[in-house]
Amino acid sequence: MKSLKVVNISPGLSGAGLISDYLLNRNDFSNPFNLEAEFRLLHDPGGIHNLYKGLYENFSVNNSAYFFNEFEKYILNLKNLSSKIKNKKKYLYNSFFFNEVKKYLKEISLISYYGLPEYFRIGFDFNDKLKWRILRIRKSSQEVKFCKMRIPVEKEIFLKKTRIFLNKVLFILSGKKKINYVIDQGGNFWDPINSTQYFDNRKIVLVTRDPRSIFSSMKTRKSLAYPGHDIKIFCEWYKNVMKNYNKIKESNILIKIKYENFILNHEKESTKLIKFLNIKNLKKKKFDISNSKSNIFKAKNYLTNKELKYIEKKLKKYLQWPKKIYI
């Protein structure tokens, strides 16, 4: 029986981790990094989804070389990813992971050789050009090894090999086999179905949160990828987020959850989630939702009255705090 992959996705700082916390309180779920980091291998620039789209939606010999090489660069950068546990540095990706990547690259490459495509030469400085001219006289481009060229396997084989690869990766990173996995930010919020197609037996949980809480988190954490520095830009950003969210339809593999609803109507919402995931509803529950209730209105402590009123005016139809409790 294939393990279930529950992929939690949010637009950022929207409380998707709450779903992970809830499921990880069960004995039948594990997480690749024990919630120390998000699983971004698929949807980051240079990741697997980027590789897939470059190889099969815009194929050319040069594009193939480019996207394969970008993926390898991305993988090299993962060697630097670490977290601190009890003031001790721990690298998130181990040697077993990088060995599997090498095998995976061979399995998805039909042909590989060395060459020097035009796009690669654009970035040459004077020394590179001089080196190339000298070597060109002495050796062939195959011997010089400037740029690795690859032609991918057929699309169906790529998807099959990628799913096998990810099953191995989840086991390597969590240390647990034949168990269900909850994967934080394992896909792209803007394209949740396609960006998670590389997991077999997947279920997608799309999480949103009240804009006041999100802006508060952006502002206090000073997140560089989000517009927490400007409330006007934030409101336009949030409208764009919700426009995309409303286009996405629930299905047998995707469910939408509002952060506040999951806390305040926990029995109903958690039962709905359990049914969607088709897993047992445990009689003895370890998860204490009361610890999360204080987080709902925490934004009031960090936003000014002016900021609160501005968001409430501009994003009125997206507010999720219950009025009775808030007032």
Q: What's the token pair of residue 317?
A: 């139809």
Span 89-108, mean pLDDT? Answer: 96
Please report the pLDDT score of residue 143 as a whole number. Answer: 60
Mean pLDDT lowest among 124-133, 168-177, 205-214: 124-133
- Round to whole Å and give the CA distance between 231 and 305: 13
pTM given for the model:
0.93
- Round to whole Å and give the CA distance between 79 and 75: 7
Which position has the token pair 């590389």? 198
Residue ranges of domains in the chain = 1-28+181-327, 40-178
Q: Above 90 in pLDDT, residue 139?
A: no
Mean pLDDT score of the chain, rounded to an integer?
92
Please report the pLDDT score of residue 24 as a whole number. Answer: 92
Q: What values do phi and psi take at 46, rounded to 5?
A: 90, -5
Banded pLDDT at 327 (limits 50, 70, 90): low
Percentage of the chain lying above the pLDDT 70 cut = 95
Q: Above 90 in pLDDT, residue 294?
A: no
Q: Which residue in 44, 51, 48 sits closest to 66, CA to CA?
A: 51
- Round to whole Å and give the CA distance between 314 and 327: 19
- Round to whole Å and give the CA distance between 47 and 69: 11
- Answer CATH for 1-28+181-327 from 3.40.50.300, 3.90.1150.10, 1.10.10.10, 3.40.47.10: 3.40.50.300
Burial class (CB in 10 A: 0-12, 13-18, 19+), 32: buried
Please report the pLDDT score of residue 175 as a whole number. Answer: 82
Banded pLDDT at 316 (limits 50, 70, 90): very high
Exposure letters 96-114 (e unless 16+ CB within 10 A, then b) = ebeebbeebbebbbeeeee
Please report the pLDDT score of residue 197 as a whole number. Answer: 98
Q: Which long-range contacts (CB under 8 A, 24 or more apart) does 233-237 make?
A: 234/311, 235/211, 235/310, 235/311, 235/314, 235/315
